[in-house]
Chain A
Amino acid sequence: MSLIELIDKRTVKVPLEARDKQGVLRELVNLLASATDKVSDPEALYRAVLDREALGSTGLSEGIAVPHGKTNAVRNVCLAIGVAPEGIAFDATDGKPSRLFFLIAASADKAGPHIAALADIARLAQSGALIKALVRARDASELIAILQGD
Chain B
Amino acid sequence: MTKPVERIMVYLDGSEGSILAMRLAVVLADFMGAELYALSIVNTRALSDLVQSHIFLEAEREEYRKELFDDGARYLNHAVEMGRKKNIFVKGVNVSGSIAMGIKEKVDELGIDLLVMGPPPRIRSRRDALFDELESAMRTVDCSVFIARNEERIEKLYREL
Interface residues of A (CB under 8 A from B): 1-5, 55-56, 58, 60, 66, 68, 93, 108-109, 111-112, 114-116, 118-126, 147-150
Contacts and interface: CB of A to CB of B under 8 A. Distances in A.
B50 A93 contact: no
B55 A149 contact: no
Nearest to B121: A5
Interface residues of B, number: 28
B55 A115 contact: no
Given A111-B71, A112-B13, A119 B49 contact: yes
B67 interface: yes
B108 interface: no
A120 to B, nearest CB: 7
Majority secondary structure, A binding face: helix
B123 interface: yes
A2 B55 contact: no
B131 interface: yes
Contacts of A149: 125-126
The residue among A56, A60, A111 with the most chain B CB atoms within 10 A of its own CB is A111
Interface string B54-90: 1111010000100110010000000000000000000
